[in-house]
Amino acid sequence: MERAPVKTYCIIGDPVHHSLSPGMQNAAFNALGLNCTYIAFRVPTSELEASIQSLRSIKIAGFNVTIPHKVAVMKYLDELDATAKKAGAVNTVNNIEGVFKGYNTDMHGFIEPLRRRKVDFEGMSVLLLGAGGAARAIVAALSEEKGIAKVVIANRDQKKAGELARAGEKMGLKCEPLPFDKVTTASPDADLVVNATSIGLSNEPSPVDSDHIKKGSIVYDIVYRPVVTDLIEQAKMAQASVVYGYEMLIEQGARAFEIWTGLEAPREVMKKNLLGIFGEPT
């Protein structure tokens, strides 16, 4: 049987050398026997527009977008789906016969691990740490769940916390901004604590310790490297349930794979690829 022509996918960002997406997506393509390949390109901000033109010329099959281009890329695309419009950011682009269509799979990536745990959002009080790009996708995802009582948004930059709180209100959530140094005043009452800051990436201590985490609550750290951050350790000490950042990473990648190929993503293969690098959490 003749092999299908090769399709090339990529990720653009700056920096991008640390990206785990090439390994994860290539493992998924190989597992399904697809003649597809996925590579990483460092694209500085000043070269974003030209790079998108180049991706059009070479007829790239699709691509992911990471820091710092998730918002800026939108103006170079032809269409946006509902997720991209809602989150105000794009992390996945599909090339549909020359039409570049943008999606946001971080929303799905964030919420799916909670849905899989059958989390009941009714009456839930959420504490969200951070007001950057990922936090915005998280607010958009939470706004699609029914019954959340409130979302407290703690951020160093109060202007950004206020803007995200207003965006959340427009999406139908009750939101309150909070200065970042006051997190421990809100964390003991939170049913769900989400870290969407970069704290933890360099093994920094968690801004919330076990004495300020409610027993039986859920603590979700979207930082995925290291797998077990100090916040996750503190949550376990407080007898909270934990959700790991790698779970979101797999789900956002799996949804991108499904948009590109129309096939169900081999999540176990993708997980094995990631945890082979990380080591299984205990």
Size of the site for ligand NDP (CB under 6 A): 26
Judged by CB under 6 A, the residue of 43, 61, 134, 254 near ligand NDP is: 134
CB 165 within 8 A of CB 152: no
> Does 70 qualify as catalytic in the annotation?
yes
CB of 111 to ligand NDP, least distance (A): 12
Amino acid at 41: F
Residue from 50, 96, 201, 263 binding ligand NDP (CB under 6 A):
201
Strands lying side by side in the sheet with 7-13: 36-42, 7-13, 62-65, 92-96, 99-103, 79-80
Residue with tokens 């789906």: 81
Position 67 contacts ligand NDP (CB under 6 A): yes
Residue 65 contacts ligand NDP per CB under 6 A: no
Residue 236 binds to ligand NDP (criterion: CB under 6 A): no
131 interacts with ligand NDP by CB under 6 A: yes
**177 lies in the binding site for ligand NDP (CB under 6 A):** no
Which two three-digit tokens encode residue 211? 């004495």
Tell me which of 16, 140, 173, 223 binds ligand NDP, using CB under 6 A: 223
Q: Is the peptide bond before 226 cis (omega within 30 degrees of 0)?
A: yes
CB 186 within 8 A of CB 161: no
For ligand NDP, give the closer residue by CB, 124 or 199: 199
Least distance from ligand NDP to the Cβ atom of residue 267, Å: 14
Q: Quick one: 173 or 183, whose CB is closer to ligand NDP? A: 183
Smallest CA-to-CA distance from 228 within 211, 245, 216, 248 is with 245
- Residue 121: what residue type? F
**For tokens 């989150």, what's the residue?**
87
The amino acid at 79? E
**Smallest distance from ligand NDP to CB 50, Å:** 23
Answer yes or no whether residue 245 interacts with ligand NDP by CB under 6 A. yes
Of 49-57, 75-83, 92-100, 152-160, the segment contacting ligand NDP by CB under 6 A is 152-160
Short-list 186, 247, 190, CA closest to 217:
190
Q: Which residues contact 162 (CB under 8 A, 6 or more apart)?
A: 177
> Rg of the chain's alpha carbons, rounded to an integer?
19
Q: Is 11 in the site for ligand NDP (CB under 6 A)?
A: no
Tell me the residue nearest to ligand NDP as measured from the CB.
Answer: 132
Strand partners for 235? none
User: Is 130 near ligand NDP (CB under 6 A)?
Assistant: yes
Residues that bind ligand NDP (CB under 6 A): 67, 106, 109, 130-135, 155-157, 160, 180, 196-199, 201, 222-224, 245, 248-249, 252
